[in-house]
């Protein structure tokens, strides 16, 4: 019989893994919490409201490669680039017996790219480190990734597009023009591009609780309920102490979301795995594949006593969940992006609860054994 903690962690894996079957039940959504003092954050092309004491970590990706803000000023950037270039020049390629450094390029907007061999044992692809300054605040960014020989021109075009479109913003600012929000900046425009972000949130008032919010252009082949329901039904029938709190449709404005919420009790602790997903549409910037998750897993005892609970009750957990998820909306802009449903989201409707097969159990055992408190339970999917 599977341990309740293990089931709940596996459910977290299932959010973006492959599974099958679906039914539907009715349930009501919890009333919203008092949002006094909550802060609206811009991630990608979406807004979400979070408590003022929320601790947030986020990552952003374009065409599969990370774009990140760097510490330091534009004046300090020249020294950083020179240091990186020297590192590359000092590296020796095993085949050519020459430097790993290939070339340095600078575009009209001032972006500087260092091209080098991606591997010291192969000449199949380049590593490109591109440095940008976002005006008017002068935030510094690095966009780094691999480019194959046949995609060299496309790689240059992506770098030039970012350089032309990058704008700085205040941390709490939601731009009014179309674009993809990143850390302290945004990439203006509504032309389709491969975009992704991942946000991890912890709450000082809810020890052990972790919230995840993710977006990636494209769609899942099957909906959340279709992938998860059969597996969960089987586990609920065989694992004591685990119960389904809610499942089914959970639309948020125009976003057609689905959810699956499970909780379990063991050794005086209450654990939760909440999942919400918008299946997504292909080549849509404003209805990509969206996922949200809230996880509270079993923690180590403190001096022989259970740690403080993340939530006083299931009701409190559901209220936090609903208040955050129901705040997700496409960022209003002055013009409508292509391939999506731009504009402010109308009030959400009440929830009406509601393919692939689970792989070798050893994979999940390994995942659980390597899980650390600071790890994101969605990051390893």
Reduced DSSP (H G I as helix, E B as strand, rest coil) percent helix, strand, coil of the chain, to 5: 20, 35, 45
Q: What is the pLDDT of residues 46-89, one digit of tens each?
A: 999 999 999 999 999 999 999 999 999 999 999 999 999 999 99
- CATH numeric code, 39-59+195-333: 3.40.1000.10
* Rounded Cα–Cα distance for residues 355 and 351 (Å): 23
Residue 28 pLDDT: 61
* Rounded Cα–Cα distance for residues 298 and 264 (Å): 10
Q: Which two tokens stand for residue 341?
A: 């449903």
What's 71's DSSP letter?
S
* Rounded Cα–Cα distance for residues 115 and 244 (Å): 52
Q: Is the pLDDT of residue 359 over 70?
A: no
Residues forming a β-bridge with 181? 44, 186
What's 164's DSSP letter?
H
Residue 315 pLDDT: 97
Which residues are within 8 A (CB) of 301 and not within 5 positions of it... i.e. 6 or more apart? 267, 307
Handedness of CA 219, 223, 228, 230 (dihedral sign): negative
* Rounded Cα–Cα distance for residues 224 and 246 (Å): 13
Give the pLDDT band (50/70/90) at residue 334. Answer: low
Give the pLDDT band (50/70/90) at residue 162. Answer: very high
Number of H helices, E strands in the chain: 6, 19
Angle subtended at Cα 249 by Cα 286 and Cα 17, rounded to the nearest 5 degrees = 70
Q: Where in the chain is the domain with CATH 3.40.1000.10?
A: 39-59+195-333
* Rounded Cα–Cα distance for residues 115 and 87 (Å): 12
* Rounded Cα–Cα distance for residues 215 and 331 (Å): 14
Q: Mean pLDDT throughout 37-51?
A: 97
Q: Treating both helix axes as pointing N-terminal to C-terminal, what angle do 361-370 and 4-14 enclose, rounded to 10 degrees? A: 100
Residue 353 pLDDT: 31
Instruction: Please provide the average confidence, as pLDDT, over all residues in the chain.
Output: 83
Lowest mean pLDDT: which of 35-39, 54-58, 369-373?
A: 369-373
* Rounded Cα–Cα distance for residues 139 and 132 (Å): 8
Place of tokens 């510490």: 71
Q: Mean pLDDT throughout 107-135?
A: 96
Q: Mean pLDDT throughout 196-201?
A: 98
């Amino acid at each position: 019989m599977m341990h309740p903690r293990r089931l709940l962690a596996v459910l977290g894996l299932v959010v973006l893994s492959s599974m099958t079957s679906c039914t539907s039940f009715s349930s009501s959504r919890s009333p919203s919490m008092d949002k006094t003092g909550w802060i609206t954050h811009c991630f990608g092309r979406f807004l979400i409201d979070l408590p003022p004491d929320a601790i947030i970590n986020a990552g952003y990706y374009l065409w599969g490669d990370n774009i990140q803000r760097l510490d330091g000023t534009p004046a300090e950037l020249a020294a950083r680039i020179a240091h990186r270039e020297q590192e590359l020049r000092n590296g020796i390629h095993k085949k050519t017996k020459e430097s790993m450094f290939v070339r340095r390029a600078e575009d009209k907007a001032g972006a500087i790219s260092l091209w080098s061999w991606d591997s010291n044992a192969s000449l199949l692809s380049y590593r490109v480190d591109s440095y940008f300054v976002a005006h008017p605040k002068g935030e510094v960014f690095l966009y780094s990734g691999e480019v194959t020989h046949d995609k060299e021109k496309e790689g240059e075009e992506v770098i030039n597009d970012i350089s032309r479109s990058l704008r700085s913003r205040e941390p709490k600012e939601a731009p009014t023009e179309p674009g993809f929000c990143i850390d302290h900046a945004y990439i203006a425009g509504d032309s389709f591009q491969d975009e992704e972000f991942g946000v991890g949130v912890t709450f000082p008032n809810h020890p052990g609780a972790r919230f995840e919010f993710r977006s990636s252009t494209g769609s899942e082949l099957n909906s959340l309920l279709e992938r998860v329901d059969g597996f969960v039904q089987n586990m609920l029938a065989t694992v004591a102490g685990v119960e389904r709190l809610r499942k089914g449709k959970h639309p948020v404005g125009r976003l057609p979301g689905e959810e699956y919420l499970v909780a379990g009790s063991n050794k005086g602790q209450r654990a939760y795995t909440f999942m919400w997903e918008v299946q997504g549409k292909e080549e849509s910037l404003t209805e990509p594949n969206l996922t949200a998750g809230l996880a509270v897993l079993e923690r180590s005892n403190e001096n022989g006593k259970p740690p403080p609970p993340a939530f006083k009750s299931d009701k409190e957990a559901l209220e936090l969940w609903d208040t955050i998820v129901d705040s997700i909306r496409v960022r209003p802009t002055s013009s409508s992006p292509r391939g999506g449903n731009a504009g402010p989201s109308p009030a959400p409707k009440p929830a009406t609860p509601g393919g692939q097969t689970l792989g070798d159990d050893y994979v999940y055992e390994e995942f659980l054994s390597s899980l650390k408190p600071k790890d994101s339970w969605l990051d390893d999917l």
